[in-house]
Every structure is written in C-alpha cells, then in structure tokens.
Amino acid sequence: MAIDTLTSANYASWKDSLNLTLALMEFNCALTENAPPALTDKSTEAEKLLHQKWERANRLSLIFMKNSISPAIRGAIPDATTTKEYLTNVETQFQGTSKTQASTLILKLVTTKYDGVSGIREHILKMNDMAQKLKGLSKEISDGFLVHFIMTSLPASYEAFKVNYNLQNDQWKMDELIAMCVQEEECLTLEKADVAYLMTADSKKRKGNYKKKPNVKVQKRDTGASASCSNDSKGKIHCKFCRKVGHKKNGCPDFKEWLAKKGDNLFVILESFNLTVPSNT
C-alpha cells in the first residue's frame, strides 16, 4: 500500500496514510514504542527477537517515510535516527499549517447549511467528517456540540423537528440523529403542492356579501405522512400549533381560543381531503 506524497497542503491526510500503511506492514511499533535496550551477552532470545523486530521496523519505516515526502520539503526537515523522532520533526515544520487548517475547518463546520439537494444523510456525514479531521488536529469536538451544529445547519422546513428535539431531555447519538433526520426528510418529501380556493367574510356582513380571495397555493400532506410527523421519536403526539405534547391541533385549546378571537368566518374549498392548511394562511 502506497503512502500519499507529503506536500504543503495535505499533512493530515499524509499522516493518516502513513499510520495506516505502517500498521498494515506491522512496522507501527517504530512509532508507538521506544527503542529497546541495547543487547548484551546476557540478553535472552526473546529480547534479541524484540530488538531485531524493532530495528527492522524502524529502518524500513524511515525509508518509507522519507520517500513519501516531497523533495522540496524533505530538505528542510532535520534528520533523525528513529521514526518517532523524525515524525516529530515533520510535525514541527507543519505546526503552523495545522493551525490554519483547523481554523478553516471550524469556520466551515459552523457555517455549513443543508442545501436540501445532496440528501440529509450525506450532509450529516460530511459534517461528521469535518469533526473527525479536527480531532486529528488535536481540536476534538464533543458529540453534543456536533449534534448542535448539525441541528443549526438544517433549513426552516425542519423547524418543527428542531423544536421537538429541544423539548426532549435525551440527547441523540450520531446514529440516532441520522435515523431521525432521514425519517423527517422522507416525511417532508411526501408533502406535495396542492391548490385551495379561499374565501373570507366578516361575521358582521350578511350572507352573500363575500369577498373572494385569489387562489392560494398551500401544501398537501399525505395522510400516512401526516400521522408519522405528528409523533416525536418516542411516539408521543405533539400539537403543530402550540408545539406541546399530548394532543393534536384540532383539540388544542390555544388553537380554539385563537379561532374565537379571530372573529372572521373562513370558508375553504379544498380539491383534496388530504390537504393541510397552515395556521397562518
């Protein structure tokens, strides 16, 4: 397996490639272990075998490492007799670059927004990959913060989903977050545009004196999707008007009070029985 060539812009991926290659070739002991004590006349066979294994791993690891570095960079790195020391010298040369890369990743992580095109699973995995790269640069982000960043990256169409999460005491793990977001995305995908013809009339006006409103497009929600979207991750019903748990919108006291205060009659002629009219229409 070949090691990526180290350039001025790929130190993190080069180090990952180096560690993986040396581990597969069973030479990683040169990076993880110090040199064994020098052999003496009293050294046992086990000590001799250990010394021989480490010396071979160190010699070949140094060769692989140096050959994977661009000649323009290799000349600026101080030489060393052990793989571990030589890698430390390489890290010193790229310390400033690592800080810049970490700053770029952090900025990208907190400003990334879901475009609604690539797919919610791919979006979450992309942000998780940024967090893993930061971890490799000694800038580890906890799972709780990562879930928060992902939630804030979701568009307005996921507002009810985010409110539902904030009302829960439990904190989702990454696999749970992906599963719930994929379910919500499938639910939103089932919503299709439909048309309703709306007419309003002041309650004080007599019958027949109605003012017809222009056609307004509202969203249609599939019956099955609507039922699933009214439940949270634990199967509890929540109201889409007041966002409280335990009842639906048609039985919400706040919604009934809002209708009573409204004072106007609203007549809706629907082209579909599966049409859900937003409360702000």
Amino acid at 276: T
pLDDT-derived band at 59, boundaries 50, 70, 90: very high
- Residue among 101, 104, 63, 107 at smallest CA distance from 82: 63
Q: What are phi and psi of 159, to 5 degrees?
A: -60, -45
Question: Does an H or E element contain 137, and which?
Answer: none
Distance CA 38, CA 24 (A): 27
The b-or-e profile of 61-92 (16+ CB within 10 A means b, else e) is: bbebbeebbeeebeeebeeeebbeebbeebee
33: left (phi over 0), alpha (psi -120 to 50) or beta: beta
- How many CB atoms are closer than 10 A to CB 185? 19
Q: What are phi and psi of 268, to 5 degrees?
A: -120, 125
Q: What pTM was computed for the model?
A: 0.44
Q: Each residue of 61-84: pLDDT tens digit? A: 999 999 999 988 888 899 999 999
Q: For helices 45-67 and 83-93, give the axis angle rounded to 10 degrees.
A: 30
Tokens 């999707």 -> residue: 225
Tokens of 178: 């992906």
Q: Each residue of 28-37: pLDDT tens digit? A: 899 888 888 8
Q: Each residue of 176-227: pLDDT tens digit? A: 999 999 998 988 888 644 444 444 445 454 445 544 445 544 444 444 444 4
Between 279 and 13, name the one with better pLDDT: 13
